[in-house]
Structure 1
Amino acid sequence: MISDVWIIATASLVAISCSMVGVFLVLRRMSLLGDAISHSVLLGIVLAYLIAGSRSVVAMMIGATLIGLLTAWLSNALHRVSKIQTDASIGIIFTWFFALGVILISVYAGQVDLDQECVLYGEIAFVPFDTVIWGEQELGPRALWIIGGVFLVNLILIVLAFERFKLVAFHPALALSLGVSVSFWHYLLMTMVSLTTVASFDAVGAILVVALLVIPASSAYLLASSLKSMLWMAAGYAQVSVLLGYAMAVWLDSSIAASIAVMAGVLLIVTVLLLQWKKQWRGSQVKEAMLDGKLQ
């Protein structure tokens, strides 16, 4: 059915967009910050609605991006001015922002077309019903166009500034010594994460966004030998997760977003087990070679 195509296409764009920025989060050991932003942007979405008085995509993008950047800045500031560890400061800020967002949703539940369940789980099955109309022509789901635009922005930025992102990810101290503004590239990445999160939020929910930011990139990290190969592998893992997850959801008649997240985790576990098996097999081969040498 055409609705299945729209659902898979939307999920695929969400997956590849999240995996692209997720690679840099994993490399910079900032996966928890990605989780923090994906939850705290809820506050930005609600505040944008209350200020703008409508569910304008532009207003929500701006609100979520500003709150995402504020989350990153406050987490870093709390760590610097106190003795609180980095991970603890991130946890404090994002849970506080997320709780504020949930309270505002509860208070204004009659006015805002959002609820806690929608925020956490999303409902990508409804994507085909909210379409863009141009004149009398139906152009497809609104969520597909929004996440497609964010994907193009992420892709263009990564292609144009690939060497800068690479330098800051692997050698931040060297980047500083060369006069590269590490702070600028850090907050540019946070902006990309915020935009990707809010573009994916309504369709797939926070849980799947977090899973796709971290799990495909982590799977690729175990196998990749370069940044380029890691980006390609992360995208591949993300796409396979979408296809297997959608098949699982249809088979079990379960949540599509949750099924995709589960399959992403399964692929990571399979990758770890295969690498362990390969390591043990190589060890046994070396032992056999050593024994053969002694016997001869």
Structure 2
Amino acid sequence: MSYEAWIILTGSLVGVTCGIIGCFLILRRMAMLADAISHTVLLGIVGAFLVSNSLDGIYMLIGAAIVGLMTAWLVQVLHSTGIQTDASIGVVFTSLFALGVVLITLYAGNIHLDVDHALMGDITFVPWNTVEIAGMSLGPKAVWMLGSVLFLNLLLIGLFYKELKLTSFDPQMAVAIGIPVAFIHYLLMGMLSLSTVASFDSVGAILVVAMLIVPGATAYLLTDRLSIMLVISAIVGVCSAVVGYYLAVCLNVSIAGAMASVAGLLFALTFVLSPTHGLLAKWKARRGFKQSNA
């Protein structure tokens, strides 16, 4: 594959991997927790580096999963003591992210991981960091990592689809019929953490947050069925990556920033033109109601 194709494939995998997880977060009204975890995993990455002295992908995944689950747990603990959810997220998010920044400054200043890299990523270098076996290149490490995490997420969603669906729409009902709501919640948080760190090194936190929230929010405006919502979210993620790449090339701007901007543009268009929930459809419905009652 060409250099350009690897970059587009990486962005598309980020869009699909984060997009399908984002659907469940949107339904659970936990979108801002995705923002928190996408930043606090920096602490997990730095911690994994300090323990293993390596930036190998498996250590990063383990570190991020631990910190991601810890973030969700701390938010839940603070909320259970009476603190509002948004305040709980704000306290945990800023504290853990700041701690990660401090540890980078103190102990990881001589490696390629820094705050700018964490926020914006550097997808242009993805094709050069490859997996090699017996001297043969098998493609970028980021593609293999994202592909593996996507496969794992799809497997878990397939195995626990009914549980994820019910706990997202009606958690009280799920508790009543004996579904382990806490287990499903932390399973989703683990999937979120793995998806975040698999995308983090390549595209940075900004695009990760965009792909976790915007494709799912866009799909939410277009359908009332979860299965279709997952598919639409993945399509929006891929379209954002492809169009965003060519826009970045034309304007000579950040690729990750362009991809996030295209995702926002697609949401804006959907917000206006959605046949059921769009502003135009609501305006027509109100106009028709007024005319019928005139």
Aligned counterpart, 1:277: 280
SS in 1 for 2:109: coil
User: 2-side partners of 1:110 and 1:103: how far apart?
Assistant: 10
* Structure 1: 5+ residue stretches without partners: 292-296
Shift of 1:109: 3.7
Shift of 1:281: 3.0
Aligned counterpart, 2:236: 237
User: 2-side partners of 1:285 and 1:54: how far apart?
Assistant: 64
Shift of 1:221: 0.6
User: 2-side partners of 1:158 and 1:98: how far apart?
Assistant: 29
Aligned counterpart, 2:66: 66
1:65-104 mapped onto 2 (5 Å cutoff)? 65-81=65-81, 83-104=82-103
Q: Report the residue type matching 1:211 in the other structure.
A: A
Aligned counterpart, 1:54: 54
* Structure 2: 5+ residue stretches without partners: none
Q: Does 1:5 align with 2:20?
A: no
User: 1-side partners of 2:83 and 2:170: how far apart?
Assistant: 25
Question: 2:15·2:236 contact (CA, 8 Å) conserved in 1?
Answer: no
Shift of 1:250: 0.7
Aligned counterpart, 1:163: 162
Q: Report the residue type matching 1:138 in the other structure.
A: S
Q: Does 1:144 align with 2:143?
A: yes
Question: 2:119·2:204 contact (CA, 8 Å) conserved in 1?
Answer: yes
SS in 1 for 2:138: strand
SS in 1 for 2:137: strand
Give the direction of change, closer, same or farther, for the CA distance of 1:284–1:85 in structure 2 (3 Å limit): closer
User: 2-side partners of 1:67 and 1:163: how far apart?
Assistant: 27
User: 2-side partners of 1:290 and 1:85: how far apart?
Assistant: 43
User: 2-side partners of 1:143 and 1:24: how far apart?
Assistant: 24
Shift of 1:283: 4.1
Shift of 1:289: 6.4
How big is each residue's C-alpha offset from its partner over 1:244-265, in whole Å with a ceiling of 9 and x where there is no partner?
Answer: 1111101101000000101111
Q: Does 1:172 align with 2:171?
A: yes
Q: Does 1:209 align with 2:208?
A: yes
Shift of 1:60: 1.4
Shift of 1:110: 3.4
Higher-Rg member (1/2): 1
User: 1-side partners of 2:90 and 2:7: how far apart?
Assistant: 32
Aligned counterpart, 2:248: 249
Q: Which moved more, 1:187-196 or 1:238-247?
A: 238-247
Q: Report the residue type matching 1:92 in the other structure.
A: V
User: 2-side partners of 1:66 and 1:136: how far apart?
Assistant: 34
Aligned counterpart, 2:31: 31
User: 1-side partners of 2:289 and 2:70: how far apart?
Assistant: 53
Aligned counterpart, 1:190: 189
How big is each residue's C-alpha offset from its partner over 1:188-234, in whole Å with a ceiling of 9 and x where there is no partner?
Answer: 00000000000000000000000100011001111112101111111
User: 2-side partners of 1:110 and 1:264: how far apart?
Assistant: 33
User: 1-side partners of 2:112 and 2:279: how far apart?
Assistant: 47
User: 2-side partners of 1:290 and 1:176: how far apart?
Assistant: 45
Q: Report the residue type matching 2:49 in the other structure.
A: Y
SS in 1 for 2:167: helix
Q: Which moved more, 1:17-26 or 1:55-64?
A: 55-64
Shift of 1:111: 3.3
TM-score when normalising by structure 1: 0.94
Q: Report the residue type matching 2:6 in the other structure.
A: W
Shift of 1:287: 5.4
Aligned counterpart, 1:294: none
Q: Report the residue type matching 1:239 in the other structure.
A: V
Q: Report the residue type matching 1:67 in the other structure.
A: V
Q: Does 1:218 align with 2:222?
A: no
SS in 2 for 1:223: coil
How big is each residue's C-alpha offset from its partner over 1:124-172, in whole Å with a ceiling of 9 and x where there is no partner?
Answer: 0110110111112111111000000000000111112111110110110
Shift of 1:282: 4.1
Question: 1:105·1:112 contact (CA, 8 Å) conserved in 2?
Answer: no
